[in-house]
Amino acid sequence: HLAHAQRRRVAKNIPADAVRIDANENPLGPCSGACASISSLIPEGGRYDYDLTLKLVSTFSDMEGLKPEYVMPYAGSSEPLHYTVLAFTSKDKPYVTGDPGYEAGMYAAKLSGAKILQVPLTKDYAHDVKAMVAADPNAGVLYICNPNNPTGTITSHDDIAYAVANKPKGSVILIDEAYIHFSDATPSLDFVKADKDVIVLRTFSKLYGMAGVRCGLAIGRPDLLAKLQFYGMNSLPIMAVAAATTSLQDKDLIAQRKKINADIRQNTFEWLTANNYKFTPSQSNCFMLDTGRQGKEVLAAMQQKNVYIGRVWPSWPTYVRITVGTHTDMDKFRTAYKEVMASSTA
């Protein structure tokens, strides 16, 4: 996964003045309290300060009514995503995921030698939980991303409950809630509290705007989390954990940022609808847009106009993923997209 990410970074070489709506980042960055925490800790950078990490764990577990041993912090959610797939899939234990879906778990499944079973989303763009639980009786991990990346669409709590109740014996349901704060989706922490075979992932990279600062959480039964430790344990960056704690303590932050994102997304959707463009009904900070032609060509044509949009999924070749940026970003996106669609070459 890391090699993949590095390749992408090298290949993109994005100009400084480009519109960057390609990576589901938050243009607002860390909140002001988080920035203050980071700055104030720079002189302490010579220390391993485990207390700051424990403070993050206790802050999150108190807020969510979890026992602290059910919460394991990481430098982002990519590591626990990767480790969960490595720990619970193998040559005999397939990896089941939605399609189109976030690909990172598939890279880990390739390493573990697991068969990868991609199950198309339903016509409402939810995970097809019935098909996922039936995909293979020996499945090791069923990955549900809620809201889903790249579509931004929701899988209902009832559907997730169905997957938890009917999953293959011995499998783990991995519920990736990277984008949950942007949406009205019901979180899945109740399954963790009920000691089910469920691991929930959270990250500070999206609503909290800390993709470059790096902090995330795996939440699950301690015996499940213990299996991830085998693949890597590390001290966390003290600025990241402190900024994450400060972000959690800002009581208005989720509502404020959710509204900012929803307003800009709604504005964009109204324009797309008025222009007869088709897109997925996202509740997140990204959506899939049907270009009606080869998405890769549209992506390249948009880059020519200095607007960097997200990638294409092989199963949906005419769609491109768009991240909801600032109002200015989306204005520039609209202008460029209209020009690209009007030209016959892309």
The CB-of-15 to ligand PLP minimum distance in angstroms stands at 22
Q: Which stretches of the chain are DSSP H helices?
A: 2-12, 32-41, 50-64, 78-88, 104-112, 129-134, 157-166, 189-193, 222-229, 238-249, 253-274, 295-304, 327-342
The CB-of-310 to ligand PLP minimum distance in angstroms stands at 10
Contacts of 86-90 with C-beta under 8 Å, sequence gap 24+, read 86/111, 86/112, 86/231, 87/227, 87/228, 87/230, 87/231, 88/140, 88/141, 88/171, 88/172, 88/227, 89/114, 89/140, 89/141, 90/114, 90/140
Q: Which is nearer to ligand PLP, 305 or 311 (CB)?
A: 311
Tokens 């002189």, residue? 43
What's the CA gap between 35 and 42, in Å, rounded? Answer: 11
Q: Which is nearer to ligand PLP, 207 or 336 (CB)?
A: 207
The CB-of-304 to ligand PLP minimum distance in angstroms stands at 25
Q: Which is nearer to ligand PLP, 174 or 192 (CB)?
A: 174
Q: What are the Cα distances from residue 65, in Å, to 57, 219, 305? A: 12, 12, 48
The CB-of-69 to ligand PLP minimum distance in angstroms stands at 22
What's the CA gap between 102 and 124, in Å, rounded? Answer: 18
The CB-of-307 to ligand PLP minimum distance in angstroms stands at 19
The CB-of-145 to ligand PLP minimum distance in angstroms stands at 5
Q: For binding to ligand PLP (CB under 6 A), which residues are involved?
A: 24, 76-78, 81, 102, 145, 149, 176, 178, 203, 205, 211, 216
Q: Which is nearer to ligand PLP, 240 or 330 (CB)?
A: 240
The CB-of-25 to ligand PLP minimum distance in angstroms stands at 8
The CB-of-343 to ligand PLP minimum distance in angstroms stands at 30
Q: Which is nearer to ligand PLP, 239 or 346 (CB)?
A: 239
Q: Which is nearer to ligand PLP, 216 or 295 (CB)?
A: 216
Residue at shortest CB range from ligand PLP: 76
Q: What are the Cα distances from residue 220, in Å, to 6, 166, 272? A: 29, 19, 40
Q: Which is nearer to ligand PLP, 41 or 180 (CB)?
A: 180
Given a contact cutoff of 8 angstroms between Cβ atoms, the answer to whether 60 and 248 are in contact is yes
> By CB neighbour count within 10 A (0-12 exposed, 13-18 middle, 19+ buried), where does 306 fall?
middle
DSSP 181: G
> By CB neighbour count within 10 A (0-12 exposed, 13-18 middle, 19+ buried), where does 231 fall?
middle
Q: Which is nearer to ligand PLP, 205 or 283 (CB)?
A: 205
Given a contact cutoff of 8 angstroms between Cβ atoms, the answer to whether 172 and 199 are in contact is yes
The CB-of-149 to ligand PLP minimum distance in angstroms stands at 4
Q: Which is nearer to ligand PLP, 83 or 337 (CB)?
A: 83
β-pair type (198-203, 216-220)? antiparallel
For the beta sheet containing 286-290, the strands, ordered from the edge strand earlier in sequence to the opposite edge, are 278-279, 286-290, 319-323
